[in-house]
Amino acid sequence: KAGVTQTPRYLIKTRGQQVTLSCSPISGHRSVSWYQQTPGQGLQFLFEYFSETQRNKGNFPGRFSGRQFSNSRSEMNVSTLELGDSALYLCASRILAGAAYEQYFGPGTRLTVT
C-alpha cells in the first residue's frame, strides 16, 4: 500500500505570496491532519479534516487554511506569507478521525520564505 504523499517536496516563496500544499493520504484513510514543524516550536498541529469537514484546528492565524476533497486528498493554503512561515509542513493520515488511531506521516513539504 502506498504511503502518504505530499507535493511539492520543496518550495521557495517570497514574503507576501501565497502557497498551496497538497497531500494524498493512504488509500482508505479518511482523516488528514496538517502539522508545522520548526526547530524552535517543534511539531504544531494546524488542523484536521475528516469527510471534507474540518474537525479540529490548532492555534494558527486565519492565513492558514485547508480543505479536503471527496477522495480524501487535502490541500492547505497559506496566504500573505511571512518569513516565520518557513518550516517543514507535514501531512498525516489515519483511517478514521479520533486520537486513538495512529497517524502515518508523509515526507513533508519544505517551505522557505525569503
Partner 1 sequence: GQQVMQIPQYQHVQEGEDFTTYCNSSTTLSNIQWYKQRPGGHPVFLIQLVKSGEVKKQKRLTFQFGEAKKNSSLHITATQTTDVGTYFCAGNSGGGADGLTFGKGTHLIIQP
- The binding site for partner 1 (CB under 8 A) comprises 33, 35, 41-45, 48, 55-56, 58-59, 90, 92, 97-100, 102-108
The CB-of-46 to partner 1 minimum distance in angstroms stands at 10
For residue 70, what are the contacts with CB-CB under 8 A and spacing of at least 6? 52
Q: Where are the alpha helices (DSSP H) in the chain?
A: none
- Helices (H) then strands (E): counts for the chain: 0, 11
For partner 1, the closer of residues 69 and 101 by Cβ is: 101
The CB-of-29 to partner 1 minimum distance in angstroms stands at 13
